[in-house]
Amino acid sequence: MRVLIFTILLSLSMILVSCGSSGGSSGSSAREASISLNVDFEDARSTDTSFFVSNTEIDSVELTYTNNADSSGKMDITSAAEGGTIQLTQLTIDSTYIFTVKAFGTDGSEACSGTASIAIVPEIENEVDLECTFTD
């Protein structure tokens, strides 16, 4: 009899613990957001094997971002550059981010760059247009 009561109490406590932990995880995701970056390259074209900005063959494209507080990053977006849209997640809500894109030619020189900023707002689709323009 004691074993049966102990088993029932143990089962009930496990149910309560599992319910409590699922509520906690939803609170942390409410403080994070995602963004869709529309990256456009000035005078861009592609062939079967290469991607060009004007007459410069592009070797790599990098995206950096920061909110000057607790979140920053750097990504190689070369494979996504031709498609034009990059998704970023786990950004801090109520924070302004600065995004910078840079494309580098096969010789390592910077072919184009662009910067944009956006305030991340909850419960809307955050979207920013980022244009990579020629470097002087």
Residue 56: inside a domain: yes
Residue 109: inside a domain: yes
Instruction: Break the chain down into helix, strand, coil percent, rounded to 5.
Output: 25, 50, 25
Residue 20: inside a domain: no
Residue 120: inside a domain: yes
Residue 64 has pLDDT above 90, yes or no: yes
Residue 44: inside a domain: yes
CATH, residue 53? 2.60.40.10
Looking at residue 27, its pLDDT comes to 42
CB atoms under 10 Å from CB of 88, counted, come to 19
Mean pLDDT computed over every residue of the chain: 78
- Greatest distance between any 2 Cα atoms in the chain: 84
The HSE-up count of residue 42 (CA atoms within 13 Å, CB side) is: 13
Q: What does the alpha-carbon distance between residue 18 and residue 14 come to, in Å, rounded to a whole number? A: 6
Looking at residue 82, its pLDDT comes to 78
pLDDT in tens, 109-127: 999 999 999 998 887 778 8
Residue 40: inside a domain: yes
pLDDT in tens, 67-89: 977 788 899 998 888 778 888 88
- What is the phi/psi pair of residue 132, to 5°? -95, 110
| Lowest model confidence (mean pLDDT) among 9-13, 105-109, 125-129 | 9-13
Q: Domain of residue 66: give its range.
A: 31-134
Domains identified in the chain, total number: 1
Please name which of 98, 97, 108, 95 lies closest in space to residue 57, comparing C-alpha atoms: 108
Residue 122: inside a domain: yes
pLDDT in tens, 24-38: 333 444 467 888 899
Residue 17: inside a domain: no
